[in-house]
Amino acid sequence: MSEKCQVGAVNDLGGIREAVCIHTKKICDSCIDKDCIEDLRVFLTQDSQAILEQATNVKARSAELLYVSLDVEPAQFNTGHYTVDITYYYRILVDAIVCGTRPCTICGLSVFSKRVILCGGEGTARTFSSKAVMDGFDRQRLMQTATPDALVEVIDPMILASKVVDVCNCRCNDNTCLELPSFICGCFDGELVLNGESRRLYVTIGQFSIIRMERDTQLRIPSYSYCIPTKDCAATGSGADESPCDMFSKIKFPVSSFFPACGDSECAALAGVNDDCGCGNSNNSNSNNNCGCRIVR
């Protein structure tokens, strides 16, 4: 076919100079998650656990995502699909009040696991790279070089609630067997208390994430030109001739920080008017002053 793109230089059509082959990742399947994780246990450090034992009240402060581990396995009786086992590791900060004094911040670890099934396609080619490090190879990964890669995009969760429960009332198993990576334990100042405590801390968090399955592929795409920077590096900071005030004078006033812009539909909804009033549309000739909102740019 004449319209088929060939590798090499081509006629300049709309700025296209040539067609090039690239190696990239193809998204085979993806999904979004909105998890509300209730009564998630917090494994406190030894110092934090000692404070919790004497605390009269606790207040949730923040939750930080430390790391996410993923494991991909072929799904049985479902060709081309794979199970993705995901484990999230969180650092939980809580303010504990002891005898009405100033709140003390206590810290601990929470772990949440889940499984999803995504389509990753079928592939039998095994790919190896010269960048591989043989001293620390993963035997399981070595046997599954034809499997697709799983990726997760996630933001720090929102902590919704917290509570303290006496061990004698929580009806839970004290024989906790939790295998933690060494680098996760290194994120905390002290050793984590896994069992033997008399009081336990539980939190409820909300989390948004996107999980996708990717596979290596080669594509032929149009190339316009090389991406060469056009801006010179500004000499600012230590050793620069420009004074701090001169540098600050070049920074634009942060209007959006004082007046956050909203989308047309949101703007119309807040103003109680229809979407066709012309809110935020600079190309609309409608000059009705009763529109109800104006977006300042």
pLDDT at res. 157: 92
* Residue 163: CA count within 13 A, CB half-sphere: 10
Structure tokens at 129: 């790279």
- Report in angstroms the alpha-carbon separations of 187 from 65, 176, 191, 263, 293: 12, 20, 10, 40, 48
Structure tokens at 82: 């794979």
* Residue 194: CA count within 13 A, CB half-sphere: 9
Residue 71, pLDDT > 90, answer: yes
| Cβ pair 44, 106 in contact under 8 A | yes
pLDDT in tens, 271-287: 554 544 444 444 444 44
| Cβ pair 109, 189 in contact under 8 A | no
Structure tokens at 279: 């809110």
CB atoms within 10 A of CB 53: 14
Residue 6, pLDDT > 60, answer: no
Q: Residue ranges per domain, the chain?
A: 25-128+139-217, 243-297
- Report in angstroms the alpha-carbon separations of 173 from 23, 39, 60, 177, 200: 50, 15, 25, 10, 12
- Report in angstroms the alpha-carbon separations of 123 from 80, 215, 234, 257: 9, 9, 48, 49
Q: Distance (Å, rounded) from C-alpha 93 to C-alpha 63?
A: 6
Backbone Cα Rg of the chain: 28
| Cβ pair 264, 258 in contact under 8 A | no
- Report in angstroms the alpha-carbon separations of 77 from 83, 150, 181: 12, 20, 32
Instruction: Name the more confident of 59 and 13.
Output: 59
Q: Distance (Å, rounded) from C-alpha 37 to C-alpha 204?
A: 6
Q: Is the entire prediction scored with pTM above 0.75?
A: no
* Reported confidence tier of residue 41, pLDDT bands at 50, 70, 90: very high
* Reported confidence tier of residue 39, pLDDT bands at 50, 70, 90: very high
pLDDT in tens, 122-181: 877 777 777 656 555 555 555 556 788 999 999 889 999 999 998 875 555 555 667 888
pLDDT at res. 288: 47
| Closest alpha carbon to 108 in 164, 153, 152, 154 | 164
Q: Distance (Å, rounded) from C-alpha 96 to C-alpha 44?
A: 12
Q: Distance (Å, rounded) from C-alpha 232 to C-alpha 250?
A: 15
Dihedral Cα 278, 281, 282, 288, nearest 10 deg: 10
Instruction: Name the more confident of 146 and 292.
Output: 146
